[in-house]
Every structure is written in structure tokens, then in C-alpha cells.
Amino acid sequence: MTPAPARHLEHRFTAMATPVVLRLLDPAPAAPDALAAAVEAIHRVDTTCSRFRDDSDLSAVNRDPGAWHPVAPEFSAAVATAEIAHELTGGLVDPRILDDLERLGYDVDWSLVLPDGDAPVAPRGVLHRRRPPFRAEHAPGRVRLDGCRIDLGGVAKGLAVQTAARLLAPSAAGGLVEAGGDLAVVGDGPDDGLWNVAVEDPLARGLDGDAVAVLAVRDRGVTTSSVRHRSWRRAGRRVHHLIDPRTGEPGGAGLAAVTVVHPDAALAEAWSKALFLTGADGIAGAARAAEIAALWVGADGALGASEEIRPHLLWSRDVVAA
Amino acid sequence: MTSRASTPWIALAVAAPAAAAVFAGSAAWAIGHDPLAEQRAAQAAQDAAVAQAFPRPATVAATERVAELQAQLAQLRTQIDQLAAQAAAVRASTPSTSGWSGGGSGGSGGSSGGGASAVAPPPPPPASATTSGSR
């Protein structure tokens, strides 16, 4: 006899310029309220941390980054998370790469970035690698940066996903929050109690790639840093959004994508970016040293993985190298 | 995790001065043979210094800073959750909320697998979601 299928509740919407999915399994009576709160939490992170909204906290702070600014708690949390990510990754995650993102052409909402612009790329200005560590000052309801403009894109998305998952957790047997390929799952999933997460092939053609692996997770964030979607051409060369703060240029030589599983989706996002920036030559050692559950795809399509991700690895297209 | 994460950077910090020393010997030779050597030597010296300093090794101060920020985040989470719940209540008091869907299937979503050749690996198991990098 086939067991009765579990009930579920799902909501899809757009925020942070990306499709968002919230899903609850076996929802409790309070689930609609939890879903509504999760939606609001994501919108609030978006409206406070977007660099493409003139009325966001981030835009106000970036207009005068050396001054104190009144900010929402979501913005304070995103800045604090960025600082933590900066410290844990030895500076490889640095929100002060905004000038370089803009210099390379990512100066408007992603939907408006020209895929093949011919505008010249301005030379680099200040060498960011000489900067002191990223530090912000925090006071209740206020933040002051160190004088440099910042981008909170990846950190804010990870924070939004993690916040929404936390809000959903008490209201169902399990929940999933997915935003543009970054996700967090809580509680029981539909796959023998786990959540199966496909890792998209970053080298596939077309909009949606086949899977290179499937991970089975519970109470984890899963994020991928990849050049598959957010890359474009400028002045005759291919560039992407994963900027190495050491050089001010797109980084990750020899890698196509890095996926990280971590208890916190925001830190998963930070680590996937940091490991990507170590490049194909450095990623195995860096993931091993930091004990991060990571799976990566080289520019040649070869799969690599850290020991920590193997317990989550349900299936892979190819043999995975250490 | 911070101290473990620092291991390769510490190794880098040890290795970089050695590399700089090797470089200095090479540069001294090169300056006598190449009119641009001095300029290149200056650039290389700068790069060596950067390699030594970055990524930075974890320090006690950095570890303490992370702990302080995590405590701060814990407090902010409470405020964030309250604000989200308040915003949802306000929205619920206004007409029309759409986009919800429900049903009887709690099963996984699909995910296409490998090719159909004789040596193709088994297809992937069904997945609930896909991680892909920023779209």
C-alpha cells in the first residue's frame, strides 16, 4: 500500500531580482502566517540591502560611506554577516569590490546588464589588496562603514534565505527556501526525511543545465558560486561577478562553479565565493584546511569534492576527485 | 573553524618571504642585464609583499571580532523576526494575497540525468531543488 502523500504548501514570487520559492511539508495551522512572515523578511532584506534602489539603506550608506546612518536591523545584520565572512575567509570575501563590479559593467540591475557590451573597461583605481580589513562600526539602529562603498548582493541573499528558513521552521515538519539557486532547508524533507538538492552543471548549454551531482541535506544551507549565469562580455573579454579583492578582477581561474553545504546559508554563500576565488589550484587545500563541505566543477568539467561533503553526496555524474 | 581555516594562509605567510628572497636574488641579476628590470623588480617586490599579506592569517583579534559580531547578529535576529511578523500581519489585514498553492504531493521535483549511451551513469535521483549560482 502506498503511503499517503504529505501535504505541502508553496509560494513563489520574485525578490532580489531572482525567483524565490518557499515550500512547507506537512504544514501546521500556523503555516500561512509563517509563510507570510518569511516573504516579508525576504522583501525587507531586499529593500534595505539592494544597491539598485535609491531608497535602500545600502544606497544611503554608499552615498556617504564614512558617516553614521540610521539603518534597519536587516541591514545591520547583512553588514555584520559580511564582516564575519570577511574574517573567516581571510579577506577573500570583501564587500568593497563594488567599484570593480561597476567598472566591469555590473552597474545596473542584472536584468539590464548588456550581455555583450563594447564599452571600454576603465583601469583599476586603488589597489584594494592594500586595504585594511573590512570593519564597520555598529550602534543600535545605526551603522558606519570605513569610508568605502560596498555591495551586499551575495551576503544579503544568503541572509534572506536563512532568515526565511528560520521563520518557517516551527510551522511545519520541513521547509525549503530557494532564491536564485541558493537555498536553505529545515526539518524533514520529502526524500527519506532529507532534501535532495541537484547541483546544476555550470558548463551545460541552455538556461537550465543537467545535474552534475545530487546532495542530500537536512537543516543546511546550500549555495553555489558559478559563472554560468552572471557573466557577460566587456571590451572583447568575458567577465563575471565573482571579483577577487586581491586583484579587482574576476577570479576563480580554472573553476566553473563551487557548491558549499553549511549550517548557515549566508556563510555557505561566503565560503562558496571564497573557495571559488582560490581557483582550481588552491581549492582542494583551502576546503580541506577550513573543513568546508564543498563540491566543485573545473573549467574542464572535472568534479572535485572535500571529504566533508561526501556524506551528503547522493549521486554524481562522474567520479569525484579529492 | 577560524584557526583551522587559517592553516594555508599561515603556510603562505611562511613561504612568501622565502619566495621573496629567491626573487631578490633573481632581481639583482636581472637589473644588470635589462633596462626595465628595475621597474619590474619594484612591481614584483610589491606582488611578493601582497602575496605575503593576503589572504590574511586569522588572529586572536579576528576571532574575538567574529564572536562579537555573532552575538550582535543573535540580537538582530529577534528584531528581524518581529518586524517580519508585523509586516505580514499588516499585509494580511489588507485585501488580496495571491500566489499560494497547496496540494497532496510532497514528493521531489524532477531533475534530468545523464545521457542514454551504453556507458551512461545511472540517472540522478529526483531532487527537491537545484543549486546553480546567482541567476
In a domain, B129, yes or no: no
User: Are residue B32 and residue B46 in the same domain, yes or no?
Assistant: yes
Say if B118 falls within a structural domain.
Answer: no
Q: Is the peptide bond before A120 cis (omega within 30 degrees of 0)?
A: no
Model confidence over A164-186: pLDDT tens digits?
Answer: 999 999 999 999 999 987 999 99
CA A319 to chain centre: 26
Q: From the CA of A33, how many Å to the nearest CA of chain B?
A: 7
Q: Which of B84, B126, B129 sits opposite A40 (nearest CB)?
A: B84
Q: How far is A41 from chain B (nearest CA, A)?
A: 5
* Average pLDDT of the residues in A224-242: 74
Buried/exposed A222-239: b ≥16 CB within 10 Å, e otherwise? bbbbbbbbbbbebeeeeb
| Chain B hits for A18, Cβ within 8 Å | 134-135
Q: Clarify whether residues B15 and B45 are in a common domain.
A: yes
- Same-domain status, B39 and B78: no
Same domain, B66 and B54: no
User: Does residue B124 fall inside a structural domain?
Assistant: no
> Highest mean pLDDT: which of A2-6, A258-262, B7-11?
A258-262
Contact: A197, B127; criterion CB under 8 Å: yes
CB A191 within 8 A of CB A312: no
Assigned C-alpha cell, A261: 553545504
Contact B100 A10 (CB under 8 A): yes
- Say whether both B50 and B64 belong to one domain: no
A226 to chain B nearest CA, in Å?
5
- Distance (Å, whole) CA A183 – CA B134: 11
The answer on B71 and B34 residing in a single domain is no
B106, three cell numbers: 510532497
| Host domain of residue B63 | 59-91
Contact A40 B132 (CB under 8 A): no
Q: Which residues contact A240 (CB under 8 A, 6 or more apart)?
A: A227, A230, A231, A232, A250
Taking the Cβ of residue B99 and every Cβ of chain A, the question of whether any pair is shorter than 8 Å is answered with yes
Instruction: State pTM to two decimals.
Output: 0.78
> Could you tell me which of B72, B127, B133, B96 has the C-alpha nearest to residue A213?
B127
Confidence (pLDDT) at B99: 44
Nearest residue to A201 via CA among A309, A77, A301? A301
- Radius of gyration, CA atoms only, chain A: 19
Based on the domain organization, do B52 and B76 belong to the same domain?
no
Q: Among residues of chain A, what percentage have pLDDT more than 90?
A: 68
B29 and B51 inside one domain: yes
State whether B9 and B51 are in the same domain.
Answer: yes
Q: Answer whether residue A109 shows pLDDT above 70.
A: no
Report the distance separating Cα A303 and Cα B16, nearest Å.
Answer: 30
What DSSP character marks residue A135?
Answer: -
Q: Of A223, A224, A252, nearest to A238 (Cα)?
A: A252
| Co-location of B13 and B26 in the same domain | yes
Residue B66 confidence (pLDDT) above 70: yes
CB-based contact, B116 to chain A, within 8 Å: no
Whether pLDDT at B52 is above 60: no
User: Does position B116 have pLDDT exceeding 80, yes or no?
Assistant: no
Q: Is the dihedral of CA A258, A262, A268, A271 positive or negative?
A: negative
Min distance B131 CA to chain A CA atoms (Å): 4
Asked if B15 reaches chain A (Cβ–Cβ under 8 Å), the answer is no
* Number of domains observed in the structure of chain B: 2
Q: Which of A196, A281, A308 to mutate to test the interface with B (most CBs of B within 10 A)?
A: A196
Q: What is the DSSP string of B51-118?
A: HHHSSPPP-HHHHHHHHHHHHHHHHHHHHHHHHHHHHHHHHHTSS----EEEES--PPBP------ST
Residue B33 in this model has a pLDDT that exceeds 60: no
**ipTM, two decimals:** 0.82
The pLDDT tens digits for A240-282 are: 778 888 887 788 889 999 999 999 999 999 999 999 999 999 9
Closest Cα in chain A, distance from residue B25 (Å): 25
Domain-located, residue B103: no
CATH of range A8-316; options 3.40.718.10, 3.10.520.10, 3.30.530.20, 3.40.50.40: 3.10.520.10
The answer to whether position B40 is within a domain reads: yes
Q: Where are the domains positioned within chain A?
A: 8-316
- Nearest residue of A to residue B123 by CA position? A317
Residue with cell 532547508: A185
- Nearest CB to B85: which of A37, A227, A289? A37
* Chain B residues lying within 8 Å of A267, measured CB to CB: none
Residues 6 or more apart whose CB falls under 8 angstroms from that of A106 comprise: A113, A230, A232, A241
> Given CB atoms, is B29 within the 8 Å cutoff of chain A?
no
Chain A residues 158-187 within an 8 A CB cutoff of chain B: 163, 166-167, 176, 178, 180-183, 185
Q: Note which residues in 69-108 of chain A have CB less than 8 A from chain B.
A: 72-74, 76-77, 80-81, 83-84, 87-92
Do B28 and B7 reside in the same domain of the chain? yes
